Structure 1
């Protein structure tokens, strides 16, 4: 299992607002039903190579199970263990506890480092998404090669979102759940703000007074009003789909 950040989720508590025991606590049969659902959810997430969405859990757990309640309890069970249950986008996954990441370093595969240009483009996409290549170049002040964008897409940290409703219908870019997973983020709004970036030494303390960081979208998967979804014809033009609709 790979390393990741801890999710900020309230542990499941078998009490109601008055502090009295709730139905699950008072009903042994219901308590047993929930415990079994927790075991099942644990097995599903453990066996999955990708984060498991709530929709997938609803489809595979017994009908009527309160999935958020079950996942909160499972999260609480793993909160102090060597492996934690964390949120990754709209899914759940097991990850090595953050304070034990050093144990995995000796077995880590050496990754090819991204160029400075790629890191700049990745940061712009993360904070400004949805963003076009022309908009990226305007922000950076230099031309962005197609190879840089291709590299980021090969890492599966960046994806094509749609087409901007402007002349030429340029493609828009955004981040993926794998980007969130790699950087230990539960959602895109967890990206560091100005003060955090300054504290990490990534921004000068002498930044212009009017400097600001754009607010990432609440739902990066949802198209904005000025975007059109990608069609099969678009994918064919971009070389991502073979003529006739078959995947490469």
Structure 2
């Protein structure tokens, strides 16, 4: 006679997540990610899937289904989105609208903000060694890659700048911590020659919370950076 599973054991088995997500659940996840205007966070995806499914298993199945195809599931800006397969991206550039080109000053300013955020205009100028035009900062704000964070608790209460999720999406980064470090920059040929003693590349962070030396923007005080 076959042994019957104790009731308690059967109850515990009933609540275990399905290790192989159902096809309809995978289809639903596919549709949700496709329809989302921004990369969809795993937590947001899990909240909209039927109970009893592990979101990581669903995402793994989607990656498997799209492996080797023209589009792929990518982790970008802390969420998930469908992107053109990397090996095909170059073939499609001719069909895409010409992106607005940044000046060298704007590119340098963007790089400094990305690595040193939160950064004020004066701090950006100190690192660059030259003055930074208001136009460069305005352009970066217009692209949506840079945002106003707060005000530094120093005389004049200057505005601090940081990057946005749109910056991560534009450059295909999951987080700002994925920016290349010193060794990677050397390997790309972006840093050459002998470096000064103690030279290093900071570990970037785009934590949205204000730092202890920052105050909220909404204080009604004028600021020369955004006047």
Residue in 2 that maps onto 1:17: none
Unmatched 5+ stretches in structure 1 = 1-22, 241-248
Change (3 A) 1:41 1:232: farther
Q: Pairwise CA RMSD of aligned residues?
A: 2.9
Residue in 2 that maps onto 1:48: 36
**What are the superposed Cα offsets for residues 19-47 of structure 1, whole Å, 9 maximum, x if unpaired?**
xxxx89xx9x9467543322111101111
Q: Which of 85-94 and 158-167 deviates more?
A: 158-167
Candidates 225, 228, 245, aligned match of 2:215: 228
Q: CA deviation at 1:55?
A: 3.7
Candidates 89, 95, 101, aligned match of 2:89: 101
Unmatched 5+ stretches in structure 2 = 1-12
**What are the superposed Cα offsets for residues 40-61 of structure 1, whole Å, 9 maximum, x if unpaired?**
1110111122211234323322
CA distance in 2, matches of 1:63, 1:205: 57
Residues 95-174 of structure 1: matches in 2 within 5 Å?
A: 95-174=83-162
CA distance in 2, matches of 1:175, 1:222: 13
Give 3-state SS (helix, strand or coil) of 2:208's partner. coil
Give 3-state SS (helix, strand or coil) of 2:148's partner. strand
Residue in 1 that maps onto 2:10: none
For the pair shown, the structure with the greater C-alpha radius of gyration is: 2
1:162 touches 1:223 (CA, 8 Å); kept in 2?
yes
Residue in 1 that maps onto 2:3: none
Change (3 A) 1:213 1:190: same
Give 3-state SS (helix, strand or coil) of 1:94's partner. strand
TM-score with structure 1 length normalisation?
Answer: 0.76
CA distance in 1, matches of 2:116, 2:126: 12
CA distance in 2, matches of 1:235, 1:92: 39
Residue in 2 that maps onto 1:18: none
Residue in 1 that maps onto 2:25: 37
Give 3-state SS (helix, strand or coil) of 1:52's partner. coil
